[in-house]
Chains A and B, each alone.
Chain A
Amino acid sequence: MAPERPLLEVNDLRTYFFTSLGTVRAVDGLSFSVPLQRIVGIVGESGCGKSVAARSILGIIPPPGRVVSGSMHFDGDQGLLDLAALDPHDEVYRKTRGKEISMIFQEPMSALSPVHTVGDQLVEALMLYDEQLTKEDARDRCIGLLRQVGIPSPETLIDAYIFELSGGMRQRVLVAMAISGEPKLLIADEPTTAIDVTIQAKVLDLLRHLHEEKRMSMLFITHNMGVIAELAHEVIVMYLGTVAEQGSVNDIFDNPQHPYTQALLESIPGIGVEPKTTLQAIEGSVPDPYRRPPGCPFSNRCPSFKAGTCDAALPPLYRVSESQTARCFLLEGNEVVAEAAPPPEVSADG
């Protein structure tokens, strides 16, 4: 039996920003796929390109940024689409975005309108997805959705404004909005970063519950290794716009191969780390996007750095096991899954 076609297959995606200071290669040769009914986690630090990757999929990259090459095949209601080849304003893309692929943003306060009630905003979304829907039906559906995401007394809360809600409630409204079109793929960009621990626990439970109930595929973006361990089936570790390592959640946490993944895990003061002792810190910091180190992007901070190798070329993607790959010369000798392709010559006007 041929393996099932993934819901989303991103191949060698490159999204660049053409600024007056130079070109920022925010996403530079990113490949991964989201299988049906799975939760894929993207983890990385600021500037690794995880949010730009999510926005590329939705076709909402603001100028001066642009998807310059690669493909993003999405297997949706309208057949197999290459989102990268579509114009973001295209009718087909607009039918996909929001309905079939939806997104939960990090800051509910800036993602929701302060001058419309919760109901107004949700009803608008619902009526956009289903043109036959009457206003009354939409309102009923909306109350149902709010109940589904655990909002108490949705009949009254539907007429509240966002500023009247607590942080956790706002995040729930965003979740309700994101699932209103019954999306096939839900992208969550740091949905719990701006909220407190006890509320974060609830939002994570809600997302897991929705995934189980609706068999919805999810792309979960975070910088928190703990959240990834808890929610994701598969993990992608990103660094400076590209994949450092990817594998199943067990691969990444039990058998990390890339020095960056190893260092990330060791630098967290988790259970089992003796308090008040020196932590394994990673030297230096994420490089300035205008001054990328030559060769491997992690080479200037890597504890296993080999001069002449790591700073000479970008390593190819090596196979570690059936489910795991990593981009590091330490794995030389392993099967090469994909050679490192050089960045294309592009200019601002394409």
Chain B
Amino acid sequence: MADAAAAGAMERGNIIEVRGLSKHFPIKRGILKHTVGWVRAVDDVSFDVRRGETLGLVGESGSGKTTVLRLLARALEPTDGAIRFRLADSEVDMAVAEKEVLRAARRRIRVVFQDPESSLNPRMTVRRIIGEPLVVNDKLKGEALDARVKSLMALVGLQPEQLNRYPYAFSGGQRQRIGVARALALDPEVLLADEPTSALDVSVQAQILNLLLELQRELGLTVIFVTHDLSVIRHMSDRVAVMYLGHFVELGDRQQIFDKPLHPYTEALFSGIPQPNPHRPLKRIVLEGDIPDVAQVPTGCPFHTRCPYKQDRCESEPPLLAEVGNTGRQAACHFAAELDLKGEQELLS
């Protein structure tokens, strides 16, 4: 099989290898819908995910983090690139996989959505919502189905006797637990979490974060966690990727990135987190201008229009994501090795 051959060179320990992944959306105008330009939502992105780790994808709106997640599940057709998964029973390139292969792979790669309000069908009982993947894929029914749904509900901290209720009878946090239970129904290896706590209250957010951490430990899941909330990324991730306008600008170990970022955008992001401590506000690095339109990504380094350390070279020459020195960390900045950027602790006053 061609897919398996392509994936044959995967490094041990990696469960996902993404190479040169791009997604460009056409901008159409006029009655004839001529394509007048392209939104490069994700542009030539390459990264690995190790088995059992949590990779946090962080970025602001328009950075392409959610698009990357959707491409991994092949909910979107990639424009270019390879997405190789080494699953327990097969190796697949999700970017080119055909129907049957894709269907099998999607059992192992499940998504938890942002808004439990809109991702759960209000006219289905919890039994049907959680049970649907089991009915479709495993042809479970009757008592076997009920038993499985109940054990999933218990796993995520819901009361199994509530299986005949509808989503409206549950609070926001409980609904997100239903979403997690549905994602776990087919014993996945990879969980793709798209802002799973952004629609929740602070007091409930902690419950869901705890649940995800616990499930990952128990089930050995690999998690890709997308959020704009840096505090959540810090808490959940083993490694972090920072995205800006469709590019990875920095990728590396969570602690190292928060201690000493290598990309000026990462530093500016950290300095913008309001700290719940009135005595130690952060030294703010206020960036010039707003995030550029994704349809008009600046030439050269996409960040150069706002970068406080910009030099002439940055306007014309796009930096590639590459290892900086022998740090084992990657950054897409011409001056990553020279800049002395401040980490979270140093930014505290």
Contacts and interface: CB of A to CB of B under 8 A. Distances in A.
Interface of A: 45-46, 152, 166-169, 196-202, 204-205, 223-230, 249-250, 253, 263-265, 267-271, 273, 275-286, 301
A279 B275 contact: no
B271 interface: yes
B235 A229 contact: no
Given A196-B228, A202-B286, A269 B171 contact: no
B219 interface: no
A263 B205 CA distance: 12
B276 A225 contact: yes
Interface string B244-272: 00000000001100000000000011011
Contact of B205 (A167, A267, A273, A277): A267
A201 B272 contact: yes
A285 B175 CA distance: 11
Contacts of B284: 201, 205
- 8 tightest CB-CB pairs across the interface, nearest first? A226-B274, A269-B235, A281-B206, A196-B60, A282-B203, A201-B272, A285-B171, A267-B206
Given A269-B232, A279-B209, A198 B268 contact: yes
Given A226-B276, A282-B206, 15 more contacts: A199-B290, A201-B271, A229-B277, A229-B281, A267-B205, A267-B206, A268-B231, A268-B276, A270-B276, A275-B236, A276-B235, A277-B213, A281-B210, A282-B207, A285-B204
A223 B230 contact: no
A311 B174 CA distance: 24
5 contacts: A197-B230, A229-B274, A230-B275, A281-B210, A282-B206
Interface of B: 60-61, 171-174, 201-207, 209-210, 213-214, 228, 230-232, 234-238, 254-255, 268-269, 271-279, 281, 284, 286-287, 289-291, 293, 344-345, 348
A76 to B, nearest CB: 30
A118 to B, nearest CB: 15
Given A229-B275, A229-B278, A271 B344 contact: yes
Contact of A196 (B204, B277, B291, B345): B291
B183 to A, nearest CB: 20
A225 B231 contact: no
